[in-house]
Amino acid sequence: MSEIENKIREEARKALESNEVALVIGWGEGSVPFKTTPVFVEKADDVGKLVWNEFCVNNLAVYLPKIARDRRVGIVAKPCDIRSIVTLIQEKQVKRENVFIIGLGCGGVVDATGPDASTPRQMCLVCKKREPAIYDVIIGEAVPLEESRANIVPELPEERQKYWVEQFSKCIRCYACRQICPACYCRLCFADRVEPRWTSRKATVDEAWMFHATRVMHLAGRCIQCGECERVCPVGVPVAELAREMAEVIKENYNYEAGDPKETAPVLGQFRENDVDPAQHIE
């Protein structure tokens, strides 16, 4: 057992024994050695189920809007997960007092779906925020990665369009990206609406364009780039790239980054005098 894992269990036990929380959400052992799975610990005697290793990839914040609505819940969280929690608090989906955060310093996790189970996740290679933004307890220290991520999306518009046509031609409209995303908490998604009908369920390139482009617009200033959408895609569409590029646009034009606890509201929910007006903006 690692020192960090031991401390996670100690903090979870204290929180449960003192009735400070009703349960603790964390990672547990998966079905194979290089996998983990979300676990929900309600008894102090069961904290031994909690683990911490480089395969703890799930963004557990996705469970909070339902589980922490009317009670205080503990959660073991990486810095990216915590930025999701911050966004949920800002959007009034979760109350801060209902979440006990066991925050972790992070050195990145690995992509166990690739050919090499020791390869860092792609989103970890561009992540610069490795310290918890908010926490009740902090464990471990941030470890910067030495690798960097190569740009996989072509720069020229014609080549970019061709690239995304090829990618979206693989999309089967399973909505796994939507279901895993902590920011996709709408009770009725635009993709499921009948009146008005925004998009059909057909697995065509045009319909995939509509779904993914609209979704990334909905996530503008809200996506914290955890990469969960890309991880769960069964056909390997790099959907996180769209969100990453949108985050860069928001940062450049509105000086806003999702998951920043200093902000009181999402960028689309506030107005500043120096905001760029897209209708008047000229490159």
Residues 163 and 91 in one domain: no
Residue 83 lies in a domain: yes
- List average pLDDT for each run of 10 residues in the chain, which is 283 residues long: 91 97 96 91 97 94 95 96 96 96 90 67 80 94 72 83 92 93 90 78 84 91 92 92 90 91 85 72 51
The residues that bridge with 99 in the sheet, in sequence order, are 73
Closest by alpha carbon to 168, among 214, 123, 220? 214
Q: What's the pLDDT score for residue 98? A: 98
The pLDDT tens digits of the residues spanning 72-88 come to 999 999 999 999 999 99
Q: What's the pLDDT score for residue 116? A: 58
Domain count, the chain: 2
Residue 64 lies in a domain: yes
Residues 14 and 107 in one domain: yes
Within 10 angstroms of residue 257's Cβ, the number of other Cβ atoms is 17
Instruction: Give the residue numbers spanning the domain of 256.
Output: 157-269
Q: Rounded to the nearest 5 degrees, what angle is found at the Cα of 65, between the Cα atoms of 9 and 108? A: 50
Residue 151 lies in a domain: no
Q: What's the pLDDT score for residue 107? A: 82
The residues that bridge with 262 in the sheet, in sequence order, are none
DSSP string, 139-172: ES-----S--PPP-S-SSHHHHHHHHHHHHTT--
Here the CATH number for the domain that contains residue 250 is: 1.10.1060
**Quick check: helix, strand or coil at residue 61?**
helix
Q: What is the pTM for the complete model shown?
A: 0.89
